[in-house]
Chain A
Amino acid sequence: MICVFQWLRKRQKPDQIKNLPQLIANLKTSGDFLHFKSEQTGMPYFIYYFKTLVNEQELSEKILAPMVKNKVSSLKEVKDTVPIPGIILTDDLSDICEKVMIGYLILRFNENSNECALIPSPTDISRKVSQPEVEFTVVGSKESFVESLDKNLHLIRKRLPVHELKAYEITIGKLTHTKVAVLYLDGITNQENIQIVKDRLKGIHVDQVVDNSVIMQLITDNKNSPFPQLVDTERPDRAASVLCEGKIVILSEGSPQALLGPTTFIEFFSAFEDYFVNWIIASTARLIRIFAVLFSILVTPLYVATLTYHYELIPSDLLSTLVSSRQQIPLPPILEAIFLELSIELLREAGARLPTKVGQTIGIVGGIVIGTASVEAGLTSNVLLIIVALAALASFTTPVYRMGNTIRLIRFPFLLFAHLWGLLGVVLCFCFLLIHLLRLKSLGKPFLEPIYPLRVKDLKDALIRLPNKFQTKRPIQLQTESTVRFEKDKNEFHE
């Protein structure tokens, strides 16, 4: 690894390039690097740029037109004439090299001097702000983050027009030079948390950062845990909302997802839509989701454990249904369950890899052909088919996609333990899971909060969401500098 870095470092600081003409000669080896000399009488000037990075319309209208009109003859005059802010006059080679790669064009009068003007005129070919697809809500904002950091920042600043909103920027990635922004509210967000994020970001030395997910993996507390320890969202309103709570938001160039932290386990089961609906409905939805997760993890292992070891637990009325559905099946419950669980995983994976239109046929193949046929062929019992299908369905209720993946994965060790030691094994495995969760941290803060450590005040927005009048304080978890969100007395809650 170290050799590669040293090699990269050598590549980035080319020893042989000592002056601007040499740099330009080097850049000219790329096919999309354009250069031309002005036809202007008097002082001729040279323009160099990457046509794929520069907005050529702006170049002719805002740069060339005024220059021709005013007959510019020096770099100083360029800065005064061209109506574009941010023009730099420099002779620093590394600066020139860096800027030309992000959409600046080089303008100079003397072909042998290092002196030149750098005029910013970058093209913007990013997608327009569109509807959220993963976290779509029927009510509420229909904007989602896009691949441009500036647009994403705009979407958040639009929602939080206060000067306390700070964006600390850092560039990560030896080759990708990805701009990463850490957003927080000054005077609210805990300084220690901000420092942790900054330090961890500074500690990243990789060649490429393709997405925010990479950053998430690199700064996460326990890298060997299947559980995500930072929430990712594509909703700017959610990002703005957690900023107000005192959380930190991490955005990066080229990624339509924001990372939110420090977070808790429970937050992965709260959808942002919970805040758009009445607290009773929101609380019910959250409880259903928590139930769905437990159901999804435990139901197949419980089936395996009960049918393998604990026949006496099955109610007499259910016994005949269960036994007669298993009568023709040659496989023990564990193989039957693994067979079905794997086929569901296969279907999901195939559906995720295929284009949308082909994906629809996968549903038909999975639902009808594999399900019905395996029951008819006597490979699985129809009771288990229902159970596995329900468990899969339940795992899709998790609002954060990453958590859904984790939940589907941790079912398998449970199955193994259920087969080996029955209910005792399930309990044992649950203990392991609980111990793991208790040890987890999100940006140094306990992950299972407010359940453990028990913070009763934070339960107001955890398993259930209490009405607004109870939400006057920020979560204790975040150790915010200012704890009061708003004063209850000043609100008229019409009681």
Chain B
Amino acid sequence: MKLPVLLCISILLLSGCVENSVVDDIQMVTVIGYEKGEDGKIKGIAVAPQFQADGTIQNSVYIEEAEISKEIRSQYNSESPKPFVSGKLQLAIYSREIAEEDGIMELTDTLQRDPFIGSRAFLAISDTDIEKMLSTNFGNADTGHFLHSLLDHNSNYGMLPKTNLHNFFYYYFSEGNDPFLPLITLEEGKVKIAGLALLKEDKMVAELPADDLFTFKILYENFSSNDSFTTDLGNGDHASIYNIASKRNIDLKMLKKNEITIKGKVLGVIKEYTGEELSAKVIDKIEKDMEAEVEAKGREMIKKFQEEGIDPLGLGNAVRSVTRGKFDYDQWKDRYQEVDIKFNMQVVITESGVIE
């Protein structure tokens, strides 16, 4: 008899404490953008999709300015008929200005502390006006979901290295890594991945153009991609390689002699060739040309990283992982710029088509 009474009492007393959020009575922010406002304030642009009964989606854009980012949220609530919730946030965009001058950590911290926000949300830096970008309608789609898909499929199957909230914080806080974020632009009503923003601590210090992403990805991680890579054979002929599978290996055996070798191995299939005949000789040449091209780009890139003192490839972390005892990060930071980092590529063409 005791149990049912206790159960009834607990139901009556406890259920009042729970705050519910019925799915059609809330304003779900899917993308949020931060720009610099007037008088040192921060301008926050939030987009919440409005799902209509007929299946269409309208995007409501809320723009507010405040001293700190949390205050912006309460201002949103004063404008909206439904309470704002953050659980569906899929993307946070920072203007290049903020990223270069103030650093993004202050604004990102709130995303990390909010338990409703998934660690797979994306972060990005925008080259162009965010307000304009987020006010654009991309067909009958929720802007946040649209932009999230854009970044998601490009990092899964394209040339964009994998980035998300979790990775950002891992690289930010761990020793021997520096974070990087995708750089996006709005061009003629379309959002495009313009490259990669490289950060030191939480400030943007350099960027990689979109053309260099392939090389960066070879240096950075193992991947397989559906994108193609085109190489110029010099005599006016071009070859396009696709179905690329790449493996990266960091050789730290010569670390004592201050030497690190990054080995990249790429397997690919020739999809398009503008020349006459695709003989074994030509294939060999294509392989050699591509190796040379990527190696040159990669070495240049590594040099740039060392000059800037950033380590987006995580070499410091790789060194830490083979260091016995305590890893002295400050010492490594000094050493990093002097280390001779080599890059060797191997390209293997596995198929060249069935046309004879």
**Beta-carbon contact of A311 and B20 below 8 Å:** no
Contact with A320, one of B21, B22, B51 (Cβ below 8 angstroms): B51
How far does the alpha carbon of A322 sit from the alpha carbon of B25 in the complex, in Å?
A: 12
Contact A307 B88, CB 8 Å, known A316-B142, A320-B55:
no
How far does the alpha carbon of A325 sit from the alpha carbon of B55 in the complex, in Å?
A: 8
Given A308-B21, A333-B22, 10 extra CB contacts under 8 A: A311-B28, A311-B85, A316-B90, A319-B28, A319-B88, A320-B55, A320-B142, A324-B55, A326-B24, A422-B20
**Beta-carbon contact of A307 and B22 below 8 Å:** yes
Most buried by B among A317, A323, A328: A323
Residue of B nearest to A333 (CB): B22
**Beta-carbon contact of B142 and A311 below 8 Å:** no
How far does the alpha carbon of A59 sit from the alpha carbon of B187 in the complex, in Å?
A: 106
Contact with B18, one of A314, A328, A329, A422 (Cβ below 8 angstroms): A422
Q: Which of B144-195 contact A (CB under 8 A)?
A: 145, 148
Q: Which of B19-75 contact A (CB under 8 A)?
A: 20-24, 26, 28, 30, 49, 51-55, 57
Which residues of the other chain, B, contact A326 by a CB distance below 8 angstroms?
A: 23-24
Q: Which of A36-78 contact B (CB under 8 A)?
A: none
B15 at the A/B interface (Cβ < 8 Å)? yes
B314 at the A/B interface (Cβ < 8 Å)? no
Contact with B23, one of A307, A328, A420 (Cβ below 8 angstroms): A307
B329 at the A/B interface (Cβ < 8 Å)? no
Q: Which of B253-305 contact A (CB under 8 A)?
A: none
A168 at the A/B interface (Cβ < 8 Å)? no
Contact with B116, one of A312, A322, A421 (Cβ below 8 angstroms): A312
Residue of A nearest to B57 (CB): A320
Interface on B for A, CB 8 Å cutoff? 11, 14-15, 18, 20-24, 26, 28, 30, 49, 51-55, 57, 85, 87-88, 90, 116, 118, 142, 145, 148
Most buried by B among A311, A325, A421: A311
Secondary structure at the B interface, as helix, strand, loop or mixed, is: loop
The 5 closest A-B pairs by CB, nearest first: A312-B87, A323-B51, A327-B53, A420-B15, A324-B51
Determine the interface band of chain A, counting residues with CB < 8 A from chain B: 20 to 34
Least distance between B85 CB and chain A CB atoms (Å): 7
Contact A311 B26, CB 8 Å, known A316-B145, A320-B57, A327-B51:
yes
How far does the alpha carbon of A173 sit from the alpha carbon of B195 in the complex, in Å?
A: 88
**Beta-carbon contact of B23 and A323 below 8 Å:** yes
A276 at the A/B interface (Cβ < 8 Å)? no
How far does the alpha carbon of A322 sit from the alpha carbon of B116 in the complex, in Å?
A: 20
How far does the alpha carbon of A312 sit from the alpha carbon of B23 in the complex, in Å?
A: 9
Most buried by A among B24, B87, B145: B24
Residue of A nearest to B25 (CB): A332
Give 19 pairs: A residue, B residue, CB < 8 Å, sorted on A.
A307-B23, A308-B22, A308-B23, A309-B18, A311-B21, A311-B26, A311-B85, A312-B116, A319-B28, A319-B51, A320-B142, A323-B23, A324-B52, A324-B54, A325-B53, A326-B23, A327-B52, A420-B18, A421-B18
Contact A332 B22, CB 8 Å, known A311-B85, A323-B51:
yes
Residue of A nearest to B15 (CB): A420
**Beta-carbon contact of B53 and A324 below 8 Å:** yes
How far does the alpha carbon of A314 sit from the alpha carbon of B22 in the complex, in Å?
A: 12
**Beta-carbon contact of A311 and B55 below 8 Å:** no
Which residues of the other chain, B, contact A325 by a CB distance below 8 angstroms?
A: 53
Which residues of the other chain, A, contact B87 by a CB distance below 8 angstroms?
A: 311-312
**Beta-carbon contact of B118 and A312 below 8 Å:** yes
